[in-house]
């Protein structure tokens, strides 16, 4: 498959970047039957996992060279379901524990994410090398069952995430009924829609006021350098450098996995010790700098040791940066709109990089890998400047941060009644 085609196929990942559009549904809609059995967060996770498993199984039986359109549709099902799962899991993670534990949860989240990438990355390559891509996809579909079993074991968060949203809904319902002479059912629907869709965004912009645009810009540019570079990583290793699939799996998936985990652990400790915004700055500097190492790697003949060193530095910096970013974003979500507000942040976090990454194959074909990695490194400069801005306005951001409610609805009502 040509590099330009690979770049365009990467646009399937944009579903992760536009998940904010259906996150309000995940935040507000109770799934029939599943909600009573599992609760709101776990029911959405299970439904999303069913979509992932179905899409992977279908991909196992499609020949991408003969029917690329069908493969793209199956990939879209997997991507959409996986993005929906992310929305529900992010909300679960933020709601299950208090703010002081978010850095530790972020490190654990990255550990699980990287473990899954190890299995789905190196594991898929090994299975494809020794058996076939069909077997690889079928095994990946079966492994979704591990996540489903976990969802059945863990408990549902007790956070009172409906309180503020219902407040807004009742006000809009009353206003709609008074001014538009709507019947009660339509008025309730208008209130629900407003609370689900507009409420999370109004809450964020009213809370952070003039700093809200700077925050969203920071979120949007923080991972541009890393994501744009990552699209062309495997073609660079396999096609340009000439490494085998097993060598790439050994270095980037297995060895890189342990370096990412190390970076996550170091990042979690540093966030607790020095504060999240300083580590955000450190992560931005390290990400841009390590991307420039790939420029040097492209100038020399293939060497597995050099590859291991560069990949180690890249994964170490990525682990530190991701822990800081996840902990920072989690601290800014309101308990009443957890899924939608975090989806807004995580969508902005990946959308620019995914969009730019779609053109990465064209840049590589026209200029070369060294020039592409240089551009990717320079794209990290805005994140560094905005991280400095966040440090400068740290006290103001702390004052505006939303309180977290991790109690049950009954506990919240008892507290407000007191």
Q: What are the boundaries of each domain within the chain?
A: 1-159, 209-401
User: In the predicted model, is pLDDT for residue 9 greater than 70?
Assistant: no
128 vs 296, more confident: 296
For 71, 169, 220, 260, 284, the CA distances from 213, given in Å and listed in that order, are 38, 26, 10, 30, 19
For 117, 241, 378, the CA distances from 245, given in Å and listed in that order, are 15, 12, 29
User: In the predicted model, is pLDDT for residue 259 greater than 50?
Assistant: yes
pLDDT score, position 381: 93
State how far the Cα of 299 lies from the Cα of 291, in Å rounded to an integer: 14
pLDDT score, position 182: 61
pLDDT tens by residue, 291-348? 888 888 888 888 888 888 888 899 899 889 988 898 888 888 877 677 778 888 877 7
In eight-state DSSP terms, residue 81 is: H
State how far the Cα of 18 lies from the Cα of 299, in Å rounded to an integer: 37
Which architecture does CATH list for 1-159? Up-down Bundle (1.20)
pLDDT score, position 218: 92
Superfamily classification of domain 209-401: MFS general substrate transporter like domains (1.20.1250.20)
User: In the predicted model, is pLDDT for residue 260 greater than 80?
Assistant: yes
pLDDT score, position 291: 85
Burial state string for 74-102 with b = 16 or more CB within 10 A and e = fewer than 16: bbebbbbbbbbbbbbbbbbbbbbbeeeeb
User: In the predicted model, is pLDDT for residue 285 greater than 90?
Assistant: yes
pLDDT score, position 178: 56
* Averaged pLDDT for residues 256-274: 86
pLDDT score, position 391: 92
Burial state string for 150-178 with b = 16 or more CB within 10 A and e = fewer than 16: ebeeeebbbbbbbebbbebbeebbeebbe
Q: How many CB atoms sit inside 10 A of residue 27's CB?
A: 29
Mean pLDDT of the chain: 79
pLDDT score, position 284: 93
**C-alpha count within 13 angstroms, C-beta hemisphere, residue 361:** 16
When mean pLDDT is compared across 8-12, 267-271, 404-408, the lowest value belongs to 404-408
State how far the Cα of 373 lies from the Cα of 101, in Å rounded to an integer: 36
pLDDT score, position 389: 93
pLDDT tens by residue, 383-398? 999 999 999 988 888 8
User: 411 pLDDT band (50/70/90 cuts)?
Assistant: very low
* Averaged pLDDT for residues 174-201: 67
pLDDT tens by residue, 147-158? 899 999 988 887
User: 203 pLDDT band (50/70/90 cuts)?
Assistant: confident
User: In the predicted model, is pLDDT for residue 167 greater than 60?
Assistant: no
């Amino acid at each position: 498959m040509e590099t330009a085609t690979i770049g365009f196929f990467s646009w399937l990942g944009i579903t992760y970047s536009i998940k904010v559009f259906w996150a309000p549904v995940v935040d507000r809609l109770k799934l029939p039957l599943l909600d009573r059995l599992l609760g709101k967060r776990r029911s959405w996770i299970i439904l999303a996992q069913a979509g992932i498993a179905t899409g992977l199984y279908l991909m196992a039986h499609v020949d991408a060279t003969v029917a690329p359109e069908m493969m793209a549709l199956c990939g879209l099902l997997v991507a959409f379901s996986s993005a929906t799962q992310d929305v529900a899991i992010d909300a679960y993670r933020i709601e299950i524990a208090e703010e002081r534990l978010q850095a530790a949860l972020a490190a654990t989240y990255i550990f699980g994410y990287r473990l899954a990438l190890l299995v789905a990355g190196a594991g898929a390559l090994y299975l494809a090398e020794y058996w076939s891509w069909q077997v690889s996809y079928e095994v990946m579909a079966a492994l979704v069952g591990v996540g489903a079993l976990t969802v059945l074991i863990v408990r549902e968060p007790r956070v009172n995430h409906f309180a503020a949203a219902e407040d807004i809904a009742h006000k809009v319902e009353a206003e709609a009924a008074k001014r538009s002479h709507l019947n009660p059912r339509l008025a309730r629907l208008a209130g629900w829609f407003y609370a689900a869709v507009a409420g999370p965004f109004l809450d964020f912009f009213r809370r952070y006021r003039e700093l809200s645009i700077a925050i969203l810009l920071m979120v949007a540019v923080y991972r541009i350098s890393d994501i744009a570079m990552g699209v062309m990583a495997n073609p660079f290793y396999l096609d340009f450098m000439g490494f085998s699939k097993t060598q790439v799996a050994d270095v980037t998936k297995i060895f890189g996995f342990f370096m990412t985990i190390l970076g996550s652990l170091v990042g979690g400790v540093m966030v607790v010790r020095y504060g999240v915004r300083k580590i955000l700055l450190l992560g931005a500097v390290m990400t841009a700098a390590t991307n420039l190492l790939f420029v040097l790697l492209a100038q020399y003949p293939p060497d597995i040791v050099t590859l291991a060193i560069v990949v180690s530095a890249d994964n170490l910096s990525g682990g530190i940066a991701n822990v800081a970013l996840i902990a920072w974003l989690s601290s800014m979500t309101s308990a009443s709109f957890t899924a939608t507000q975090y989806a807004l942040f995580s969508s902005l976090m990946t959308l620019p990089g995914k969009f730019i990454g779609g053109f990465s194959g064209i840049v590589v074909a026209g200029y070369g890998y060294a020039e592409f990695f240089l551009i990717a490194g320079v794209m990290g400069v805005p994140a560094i400047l905005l991280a400095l801005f966040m440090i400068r306005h740290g006290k103001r951001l702390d004052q505006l941060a939303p309180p977290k409610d991790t109690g049950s609805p009954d506990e919240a009502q008892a507290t407000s009644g007191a």
